Amino acid sequence: MEKASPEILLSKIFDSDYRKVSPTLVSFLSPDTKSSLVLYYRQSSPDREAPIQYSPYQNSESQALTLDQVEKLGKVNNLYFDIKQIPSTEVDHISQKYLESFKNLDITTPKGLKEFSRLLPNYVDDSITLPAIFSSPSFKDTILNITEKFSQLRVDSASEQLIQLDPVTLAHSLGTTFITFNFRNFLDSPQLYKKRNIPDELAQSLLVELPPQQLIFSCLYHDLGKYNIDPDILHKPGKLDPDEWETMKTHVQFSYDFFQNVVKDNPSFPFQTGLLSILQHHEDDLGTGYPNALKKEQLPLLSRLLHITDIYHALTSKRPYKEAYTPQKAISILKEDAQKGKIDSALLNIFICSLEFPNK
């Protein structure tokens, strides 16, 4: 096997089955850091009982890694590197590069919107994998720029409040935004949805009900009201008692009321559709959700879609009270809700199809 430089190797697309940093982050690494990374290859063995090892690819003095260390690795093609090799000083540089990239985008243009949909999920992935990004000097400015990027009306107070959310809730808000936006991108890509036998007419009719700016607004701010929830309840490691659960449910009304105050000062507030979905994202088709027990026919598509993507991202994320579920288990739980009538089966099936075609 011909050996290439780390910079060339790390510019490839990462395998999503492993904890990873994105190709965008790799492109932001300084040349010194790229050249200093120790790369490993998976060493197969005919003995199925033998532990899998990852041997040094270029530096023979480095020790081999075993299977229990895989979660600490980023993967590129068939080569791996230890994420811990990225120094803390480099994280500040990476965060600043992300900020510059977001600043240069004009998402009112198709090209800018497409680049935003590529850049945002990478930023989410990298912030979760390298949590030091959350405390980097440019983090606040990056979040402000993301929220202002799609805002025809600048809502400074909401942007500031978003930044104050705990890292888990903030990561969930960004992750849900990506997953939901990816759903829309899937419907906007005939070469993808036709492979799943989704008719053009259906895809286009759904797209009309999912304006991109309304979608991003509702997803990014859907849990903003959690700033008003007692942290002991928000981060409780066990099941909430009935009183605590009732308190937790109030976060949707807090989110909605926050923006209602903004609307009073700005009659031309452009995100009314998105604001409604913030209030309704815990409603379900059967009418057993909250806060108003609305049924399917009373809910716009964006509210019903956000209900699905919010659940999916929450299930596949680590929380104080549970480990992260696999995508397969999360989908199985969603299908159970669909069988009960809480979720539209057709909408869920399209969502599952969209997960197979992530826009990266």
* Domain locations along the chain: 6-86, 150-355
Question: Cα-flanking dihedrals φ and ψ of residue 300, to 5°?
Answer: -70, 160
Q: Which residue has the higher pLDDT, 202 or 81?
A: 202
Give 197-255 pLDDT, tens digit per residue: 999 999 999 999 998 878 888 998 899 899 889 989 998 999 999 999 999 999 999 99
pTM for this prediction: 0.66
Lowest mean pLDDT among 46-60, 172-186, 294-308: 46-60
CA distances from 119 to 24, 93, 223 (A): 8, 16, 22
Question: Does the domain spanning 150-355 belong to CATH 1.10.3210.10?
Answer: yes
Confidence of residue 3 (pLDDT cuts 50, 70, 90): very low
H helix runs in 130-211, sequence order = 139-149, 156-164, 167-187, 190-193, 200-208
CA distances from 175 to 117, 288, 353 (A): 12, 26, 18
Q: Indicate whether 299 pLDDT > 90.
A: yes
319 three-state secondary structure: strand
